[in-house]
């Protein structure tokens, strides 16, 4: 699947070990307004005080504003644009009903280092 068709998402499952079943109970990222593609690194954690979910999209790659697979592999037609590859991280906090309450982008400007990414993040409440 090409990067422009791909998306990343945070998913919560309910696991019933006794009966050996798994059921998806919540997700964020598949609706068109939520879509964001991190080709590498990411994670999500439920925040105990608020019940919100803090999502790390660690390696969001783009070429000319369009999602790209990079930085180490490229979809057909992207390899010639490697020098225009932008990498940023997005940290997003969403409520259980999927309202965004924090959206922070780190990097992504053409002057930023091309190897910029976030491996792990943690939301610190005041």
- Report the alpha-carbon distance of residue 6 to residue 38 in Å, rounded: 9
> pLDDT per residue over 68-120, tens digit each?
776 666 666 666 666 677 788 899 999 999 999 999 988 877 676 666 677 77
Q: Which of 35, 31, 27, 28 is nearest to 6 (CA)?
A: 35
Q: What is the pLDDT of residue 43?
A: 92
């Amino acid at each position: 699947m090409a990067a422009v068709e791909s998306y990343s998402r945070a998913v919560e499952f309910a696991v019933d070990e006794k009966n050996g079943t798994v059921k998806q109970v919540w997700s964020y990222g598949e609706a068109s307004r939520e879509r964001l593609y991190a080709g590498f690194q990411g994670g999500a954690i439920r925040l105990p005080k608020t019940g919100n979910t803090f999502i790390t999209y660690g390696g969001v790659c783009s070429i000319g504003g369009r999602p790209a697979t990079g930085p180490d592999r490229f979809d057909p037609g992207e390899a010639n644009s490697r020098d225009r590859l932008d990498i940023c991280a997005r940290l997003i906090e969403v409520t259980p009903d999927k309202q965004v309450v924090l959206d922070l982008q780190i990097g992504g400007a053409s002057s930023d280092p091309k190897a910029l990414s976030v491996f792990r993040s943690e939301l610190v409440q005041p």
